Amino acid sequence: MNYLYIVILIAGCAMNTKTIYSMEDFFNGAIAGAMEVVVNNPLVVIKNNLILNKKEKGTDALKKGLFVNPQNIVTKYYKGCGTGMILMAPITALQNSTTFLFTKILDNNPTVTQKTIAACCAGYVSAILASPADLIVLQRQNPFYTQESFNGTLQRIYRVNGLKTIYRGLNGTGIRDGVFTAAYKTGGNIIHGIVPTITGNTNVDKIICASLAGLMAAIVSHPADVISTRMKNDLAVSYYKTTCQTAFRIVKEEGASALFKGLTPRAFRIMLAIPLISLALDYKIGTSVIKQIKG
pLDDT of residue 217: 95
Cα(209)–Cα(4) distance, integer angstroms: 35
pLDDT of residue 212: 94
Say if residue 66's pLDDT is above 60.
no
Superfamily (CATH H level) for 3-9+21-282? Mitochondrial carrier domain (1.50.40.10)
pLDDT of residue 31: 74
pLDDT of residue 244: 94
pLDDT of residue 10: 41
Cα(203)–Cα(194) distance, integer angstroms: 16
Of residues 148 and 239, more confidence is placed in 239
- H-only helix segments in 185-284: 188-194, 202-233, 243-254, 263-283
- Name residue 202's amino acid: T
pLDDT of residue 1: 39
pLDDT in tens, 24-36: 666 767 777 777 7
Residue 21's pLDDT band (boundaries 50, 70, 90)? very low
Say if residue 13's pLDDT is above 60.
no
What average pLDDT does the structure give for the chain? 79
- Annotate 59-110 with DSSP letters as a single string: HHHHIIIIII-TTHHHHTTTTTHHHHHHHHHHHHHHHHHHHHHHHHHH-SS-
pLDDT of residue 257: 93
pLDDT of residue 173: 95
pLDDT of residue 171: 94
- Name residue 98's amino acid: T
pLDDT in tens, 160-191: 888 888 889 999 999 999 999 999 889 988 99
pLDDT in tens, 109-138: 889 999 999 999 999 999 998 899 889 888
pLDDT of residue 47: 80
pLDDT of residue 17: 39
pLDDT in tens, 220-255: 999 999 999 999 999 988 899 999 999 999 999 999
Say if residue 38's pLDDT is above 60.
yes
Residue 6's pLDDT band (boundaries 50, 70, 90)? very low
pLDDT in tens, 247-281: 999 999 999 999 999 898 889 888 888 887 777 77
Residue 285's pLDDT band (boundaries 50, 70, 90)? low
3-state SS class at 187: helix
Cα(235)–Cα(43) distance, integer angstroms: 23
